[in-house]
Structure 1
Amino acid sequence: MSSSATERMPRHPPLADQPNELWQSDLTRITLADGTDSEVIGWIDDHSRYMLHLIAHLRVTGRVVTDTFNETATQHGYPTATLGITQKNGKPFKPTTQRKKG
Structure 2
Amino acid sequence: MIHQEKQRWTAVCPLDDILPDTGVCALVDNRHVAVFRVGNGEEKVFAIDNYDPNAQASVLSRGLVGNLGDRLVVASPIYKHHFDLENGACIEAPEKSVRAWPVRVEKRMVWVGC
TM-score, structure 1 as length reference: 0.28
Structure of higher CA gyration radius = 1
Structure ranking higher in helix proportion:
1
Structure ranking higher in strand proportion:
2
TM-score, structure 2 as length reference: 0.26
